[in-house]
């Protein structure tokens, strides 16, 4: 790993934990193990490295979604694949974005915000495809995106507490993560898929998987 890669890797963790406003260059370079001159050789400012980190974060998510969806043939499979990817994100990656959302996105350029919106664009294409095929009722990408992110983000960032809670209360509130995600996928599917008139069953009750 070269110096620039090391700066990005360590800085990513610190920004995720402290947020943009909580990071100080002096403390940052000390944690990385370099001096300020070396830092400023690679990055002009704290804002620049932050934007680089967020950009890489979003691009990584884009690539993971595209890879997952490439193995899915139908809109039904793609919805489940999209949800799987959102639940498979690293906790620090989610925290990085959540902290910036809490700050109102003040530290992000319009270009990066547009890049982030490409994730919703991918969801919209899936919903539009399903509606055109006559299976989807709801193609409101904003509503579905909030539904997916609201649950997956909280699920991911609360994991340490959830594990502790599960250990203490497992007799009364057992948590099976895989079953939880599968139930959530069915909840989303039931919100967007039409009911088959011939047998009155929803697509959520069918086996839909992406095979690799």
User: Is 186 within the bounds of a domain?
Assistant: yes
The mean pLDDT of the chain is: 87
User: Is 32 within the bounds of a domain?
Assistant: no
Kindly report which listed range (22-36, 138-152, 190-204) carries the lowest average pLDDT score: 190-204
77-123 confidence digits (pLDDT tens) = 999 999 999 999 999 999 999 999 888 888 888 999 999 999 999 99
Count of structural domains, the chain: 1
User: Is 42 within the bounds of a domain?
Assistant: no
Domain containing residue 132: CATH number: 1.10.357.10
The counts of H helices and E strands in the chain are: 10, 0
User: Is 52 within the bounds of a domain?
Assistant: no
User: Is 38 within the bounds of a domain?
Assistant: no
User: Is 1 within the bounds of a domain?
Assistant: no
User: Is 27 within the bounds of a domain?
Assistant: no
- Confidence label for 194 from pLDDT (cuts 50, 70 and 90): low
Contacts of residue 176, Cβ cutoff 8 Å, sequence gap at least 6:
none
> Residues 61, 64, 70, CA angle at the centre, nearest 5°?
140
SS3 202: strand
24-51 confidence digits (pLDDT tens) = 999 999 999 999 999 999 999 999 999 9
- Confidence label for 196 from pLDDT (cuts 50, 70 and 90): very low
pLDDT over 90 percentage in the chain: 69
Which residues form the domain of 154? Answer: 57-205
Nearest in space to 17 (alpha carbons), one of 48, 41, 53, 52: 53
49-65 confidence digits (pLDDT tens) = 999 999 999 999 999 99
User: Is 31 within the bounds of a domain?
Assistant: no
What is the model's pTM?
0.85
Count CA atoms closer than 13 A to 82's CA, side-chain side: 25
């Amino acid at each position: 790993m070269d110096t620039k890669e090391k700066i990005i890797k360590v800085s990513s963790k610190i920004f995720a934990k402290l947020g943009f406003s909580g990071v100080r260059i002096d403390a940052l370079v000390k944690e990385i193990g370099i001096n300020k001159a070396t830092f400023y050789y690679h990055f002009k400012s704290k804002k620049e490295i932050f934007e680089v980190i967020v950009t890489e974060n979003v691009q990584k998510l884009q690539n993971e979604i595209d890879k997952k969806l490439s193995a899915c043939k139908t809109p039904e499979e793609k919805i489940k694949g999209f949800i799987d990817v959102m639940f498979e994100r690293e906790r620090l990656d989610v925290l990085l974005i959540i902290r910036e959302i809490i700050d109102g996105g003040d530290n992000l350029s319009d270009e990066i915000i547009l890049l982030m919106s490409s994730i919703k664009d991918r969801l919209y294409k899936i919903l539009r495809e399903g509606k055109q095929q006559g299976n989807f009722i709801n193609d409101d990408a904003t509503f579905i995106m909030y539904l997916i992110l609201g649950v997956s983000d909280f699920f991911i960032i609360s994991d340490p507490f959830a594990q502790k809670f599960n250990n203490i209360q497992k007799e009364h509130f057992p948590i099976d993560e895989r079953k939880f995600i599968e139930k959530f996928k069915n909840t989303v599917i039931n919100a967007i898929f039409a009911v088959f008139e011939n047998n009155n069953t929803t697509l959520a009750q069918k086996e839909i998987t992406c095979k690799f």
